[in-house]
Chain A
Amino acid sequence: MGALRMAWKLQRWEITTLALVGAAIAVTMLVVGWRMESIQASAPHCWSYVDAVPQSVVNECAASFEEHSAASTIGSMAGAGAVLLPFVLGVVLGAPVVAREIESRTASMAWSVSRSRGRWLGFRTLPILAIVVFAIVVIGLSSLTLQRQLAGGEVGFGSLIPPIPLLVARGLLALAVGLVAGTVLGRTLPAVLVSALVLIALSIGLSLGLDAWMAGEAKPMDQLDGTTSKVYQSGLRDDATGELINLDEFLASEDADGMLEIPPPGMTMVHWQIPGSEYPVWMAREAGVIGGLAIVAGVAFVLTALRRRP
């Protein structure tokens, strides 16, 4: 409790600002999610079509569709805020923990007065860790209804807001990177910049790596798995031989010249995809990879902080 009070005293401005921003995002997501659900509930016949909506229904339900779309625009913005918030929380609360102490030249005093530097680090970082995890879980829980609505009913690879474990893993990685950058540089604002740089680079690298991993695991299937799957490429299967041909290669070949119908007779359209049912598995894998990186960065922070001169 004492550690939490200390964290509050030292970072009350940051915590207050982030709490206000986080609360605004959470409340917006809750209200918009509930509003979108109630729009659908008030006119269920407008929302009972999976594919093509008849023109008569389009005309009759124009107001309902328009209202839902306007709410969806606001919800998407709040959702984007929820996706960014774990990174902001981690960096803004993590970078100053050691950097500010060094910058204001109080580190030598604080570290020598404390029983051990490890104890000081634990006392200062664990409450921040708890605050970050708590805030992200609250944001994640507030997003559940909106997440379902924005995804069109079923959450899948096209979802804007990822599941809570992935949000938490991202927040922990950002916190650990912020702590390391703050300890190494010893200046708060440059540490924020370096953390942003490292996180952007890591996000791009992870995104490319995971995409390559998923592309390798994608299987050719006859039907598109609704809107929840992740489709990598389309192709054709020769019904007689079972041979698979990439659609782009087929279109570029001489066989496609003058062809009016795709797929041509004797061939079936196939799509290389990861089905939506595997979404939780892939999200768990991503969270695992990011969590692993957060642990590595956390260990790097402890080692750096234990050796650094105040």
Chain B
Amino acid sequence: MHARVGLAMERGSLLWGSVLIALLSAGMLVTVVGMLVVVGDLGCSADFIGSRCAGLVEQFAPWENIAQGLTGLLWVLPTGLGALLGVGITAGEIERRSAQVSWTLAASRTRWLLVRAVPVALALFLILTVAAGFAEMVARGRLMTDDAGFHDYQLRSLLVPARGLLAFTIGLGVGAVIGRSMPALLVAVVFSAASTYGLLVLIDAWHLAAAFFVRMDDPLLNSGIYPLVASSSAGPGPDPHGHLLIPASEYWVWVLREGGLLTLASLGAALIALGVVQRRSP
């Protein structure tokens, strides 16, 4: 019952957000089918070695470009959609001047926020997980493999919904502070993008500290499964003899670590939002 109220209040944004993700997913599906049709059952690899495969590069390239563009949207969509849904709950209520009534009628403001935010957060998590699933299919289609390793892993794993939830909780807090939807949306997007970027810098440094040097002729570099190549903008530049790597076998460890960091940040932002809602005058 409570969940239905929370979802009903945000049905417009949720509906259109779902349509956006559904269209994106459909686009990714079409792209995967297009790539499969081009490659057929020739057993080509991503470097198109072999005379029969080499002739397909030009037909494959447009599909690959579209795939890259569509999955690239997953850098911005979770942040935009998360912030929009978060802001809509708090700022929307204050802007409509219905906060006075709903905060007074609710057993407590904490309860009000939980009833309104948790169902929307779950719905957001679900639709972004669907998009990440389709992005996984696209990565496998592009690389023609069943294990894409770390290739574009931040665009196709649980990190996609985790980024969305971070933006959602930031949106809740910023919406509660500003109390007007559109300005709050802008500020929340800026804060979410900055937080996500900050976390990425932190994670890059962590990767660099955990990676080990692998020579160019090491089988790990030529296994066909994509390891994570750690790099630092402050470093001395690429080494011609090898790379600093994290092997693909550690994929889940790193996804869970990064997901854990994003979840911690989301919990922090949610607590701040709760504090603001508790103290704010409606």
Interface residues of A (CB under 8 A from B): 11, 13-14, 16-18, 21, 70, 73, 92, 95-96, 100, 103-104, 185, 187-190, 192-194, 196-197, 200-201, 204, 207-208, 233, 246, 248-249, 251-253, 256-257
Residue on B nearest A233 in the bound complex, by CB: B58
Taking a contact as CB atoms under 8 Å apart, the answer to whether B20 and A197 are in contact is yes
Mask, B12-47, CB within 8 Å of A = 1, is: 110111011001000100000000000000000000
Q: Are B12 and A189 in contact (CB under 8 A)?
A: yes
Do the beta carbons of B84 and A252 come within 8 Å of each other? no
Fill in one digit per residue for B163-189: 1 if any A CB lies within 8 Å of its CB, else 0: 000000000000000101111011100
Residues of A within 8 A of B13 (CB): 189-190, 193
Other A-B contacts than A11-B182, A14-B183, 20 sampled, CB-CB below 8 A, are A13-B180, A13-B182, A13-B183, A17-B183, A21-B186, A96-B182, A185-B12, A192-B84, A192-B182, A193-B20, A197-B19, A201-B23, A204-B66, A246-B58, A248-B58, A252-B52, A252-B55, A253-B51, A256-B51, A257-B51
Q: How many chain B residues touch A (Cβ–Cβ < 8 Å)? A: 37
User: Given the complex, which residues of A lie within 8 Å of B88, measured CB to CB?
Assistant: 189
Name the residue of chain A whose CB is nearest to the CB of B180. Answer: A13
Asked if A200 and B12 make an inter-chain contact with CB atoms under 8 angstroms apart, the answer reads no
Residue of chain B at shortest CB distance from A257: B51
Cβ of B96 < 8 Å from any Cβ of A?
yes
- Contact present for A187 and B12 (CB under 8 Å): yes
- Expressed in whole angstroms, the Cα–Cα distance for A256 and B185 within the complex equals 58
Cα–Cα, bound, A257→B69 (Å): 35
Q: How far is the CA of A208 from the CA of B57 in the complex (A)?
A: 18
Instruction: Tell me how far the C-beta of A131 lies from the nearest C-beta in chain B, rounded to whole angstroms.
Output: 14
- With a cutoff of 8 Å between Cβ atoms, the chain A residues found around residue B190 in the complex are 17, 21
Question: Does the CB pair B16–A193 fall under 8 Å?
Answer: yes
Q: Which residues of A contact B55 (CB under 8 A)?
A: 248-249, 251-252
Query: Is the CB–CB distance between A252 and B23 below 8 Å?
Result: no
